[in-house]
Structure 1
Amino acid sequence: MRDPSGIPRPRPLRRTLLAVVASLGLAAAAATAATAPASATAPAPPSGWNQVFLDDFDGAAGSGVNTSNWQYDTGTSYPGGAAGWGTGEVETMTSSPDNVSLDGNGNLLITPRRDASGAWTSGRIETTRTDFQPPAGGKLRVEARIQMPNVTGDAAAGYWPAFWMLGAPYRGNYQNWPSVGELDVMENVNGLNKTWATMHCGTNPGGPCNETTGIGNSTACPNSTCQSGFHTYTMEWDRSVSPEAIRFSVDGVTYQTVTANQVDATTWANATNHGFFVILNVAMGGGFPAAFGGGPTGATDPNHPMVVDYVQVLQSGGGGGTTPPPSGNRDAYGPIQAESYDGQSGVSTEATTDSGGGQDMGWIANGDWALYKGVDFGSSAATQFSARVASGAADGVSGLVEVRLDRRDNAPIGSFAVGNTGGWQSWRTVPANIGAVSGTHDVYLTFTSGQPSDFVNVNWFDFGH
Structure 2
Amino acid sequence: MRSRPLFIASLAAPLLIAASLTVVAQASAPTPPAGWSTVWVDDFNGPANTLPSGANWIIDTGHAYPGGPGNWGTGEIQNYTSSTNNLGLDGAGNLRITPRRDGAGNWTSARIETQRSNFKPPSNGVLAIESRIQMPNVTGNAALGYWPAFWALGSPYRGNYWNWPGIGEFDIMENVNGINSVWAVLHCGVNPGGPCNETSGIASNRACPGSSCQSAFHTYRFEWDTSISPNQFRWYVDGQQFHTISQSQLPADTWANMTSHAGYFILLNVAIGGAFPDALNGPTPRAETVPDRPMIVDYVAVTQRGGGTTPPPTSPPPTSPPPGGGGNAYSTLQAESYQEQGGTGVEATSDSGGGQNLMGLGNGDWARYSAIDFGSSAAHQFVGRVASGASGGVSGLVEVRLDSRSNAPIGSFAVANTGGWQSWRSVPANISAVTGVHDVYLTFTSGQPADFVNVNWFTFGH
What's the TM-score once normalised by structure 2's chain length?
A: 0.71
In 2 relative to 1, CA 202–335 (structure 1 residues): closer, same or farther, beyond 3 Å?
A: farther
Residue equivalent to 1:93: 80
CA spacing shift, 1:76–1:391, aligned 2, 3 Å: farther
In structure 1, how many angstroms separate the alpha carbons of the residues matched to 2:98 and 2:24?
Answer: 20
CA contact (8 A) 1:38 1:309 kept: yes
- From 258, 262, 275, give the equivalent of 1:287: 275
Q: In the TM superposition, what is the alpha-carbon distance from 1:429 to its structure 2 partner?
A: 1.1
Give 1:172 shift: 1.2
Q: How far does residue 13 in structure 1 lie from its aligned partner after superposition?
A: 1.7
Distance in 1 separating the partners of 2:214 and 2:272: 16
Which residue of 2 is the match for residue 449 of structure 1? 444
In 1, Cα distance between the equivalents of 2:194 and 2:258? 13
What are the within-5 Å matches in structure 2 for residues 181-192 of structure 1? Answer: 181-192=168-179
Q: How does 1:245-324 map to 2 (within 5 A)?
A: 245-273=232-260, 274-294=262-282, 295-323=284-312
Quick check: 1:142–1:235 contact (8 Å CA) kept in 2? yes
Please give the alpha-carbon distance, in whole angstroms, between the structure 1 residues aligned to 2:291 and 2:8. 30
Unaligned runs of 5+ in 2: 11-21, 334-373, 387-399, 413-420, 423-430, 448-457
- Cα distance, 1:136 vs structure 2: 0.7
The answer on whether the counterparts of 1:39 and 1:309 sit within 8 Å (CA) in structure 2 is: yes
Q: Distance in 1 between matches of 2:272 and 2:48?
A: 25
How many Å separate the matches in 2 of 1:339 and 1:258? 34
C-alpha separation between the residues in 2 aligned to 1:360 and 1:398? 11
When residues 391 and 199 of structure 1 are mapped into structure 2, their CA distance, relative to the original with a 3 A threshold, is farther
Superposed CA deviations along residues 359-395 of structure 1, whole A, max 9, x for unmatched, are 4224x5xxx5169xxxxxxxxxxxxxxxx98699986
Number of residues of Structure 1 aligned to a counterpart in Structure 2: 369
**Corresponding residue for 1:42?**
29
Between the aligned partners of 1:289 and 1:326, the Cα distance in structure 2 is 41
Separation of aligned partners in 2, 1:394 and 1:206: 37
Superposed CA deviations along residues 204-252 of structure 1, whole A, max 9, x for unmatched, are 0001111111111001100110000000000011100001101000000
Q: CA deviation at 1:430?
A: 2.4
Supply the distance in 2 between the matched residues of 1:271 and 1:297 (Cα, whole angstroms).
37
Which residue of the partner structure matches residue 144 of structure 1?
131
Aligned residues of 2:380 and 2:433 also touching (Cα < 8 A): no
Give the C-alpha shift of residue 337 in structure 1.
Answer: 6.6
8 A contact 1:147–1:306 mirrored in 2: yes
- Residue 357 of structure 2 corresponds to residue 360 of structure 1: no
Structure 1 match to 2:98: 111
CA contact (8 A) 2:411 2:432 kept: no
Cα distance in 2, alignment partners of residues 327 and 277 from structure 1: 18
The AA in structure 2 aligned to 1:450 is T
SS of the residue corresponding to residue 291 of structure 2 reads coil
1:37 positional shift: 3.0
The yes-or-no answer on 1:430 pairing with 2:438 is yes
* Pairwise CA distance, 1:428: 4.5
> What SS does the corresponding residue of 1:166 show, helix, strand or coil?
strand
CA distance in 2, matches of 1:15, 1:429: 53
Query: SS state of the match for residue 281, structure 2?
Result: coil
2:56 maps to which of 66, 69, 80: 69
Contact 1:391 1:425 in 2 (8 A): no
Once the two structures are superposed, what CA deviation does each residue of 1:238-267 show, in whole Å capped at 9, x if it has no partner? Answer: 100001101000000010011111111111
Question: Could you list the runs of 5+ residues in structure 1 that have no partner in the other structure?
Answer: 3-8, 17-34, 342-353, 372-387, 401-408, 411-422, 433-445
State the match for 1:12 in structure 2.
Answer: 6
C-alpha offsets along residues 37-88 of structure 1, whole Å, 9 cap, x if unaligned? 3143210011111111111111111111110000100000001111101000
Tell me if 1:180 matches 2:167.
yes
Matched residue type, 1:99: N
Structure 1 residues 391 and 196, CA, compared in 2 at 3 Å: closer, same or farther? farther
**What is the rounded CA distance, in whole Å, between the counterparts of 2:134 and 2:6 in structure 1?**
22
Among 118, 123, 128, the alignment partner of 1:131 is 118
Structure-2 residue corresponding to 1:234: 221
**Deviation of residue 323 (structure 1)?**
4.6
| Preserved CA contact (<8 Å) 2:405 2:443 | no
Tell me the TM-score normalised to structure 1 length. Answer: 0.71
Give the percent of matched residue pairs that are identical in Structure 1 and Structure 2: 48
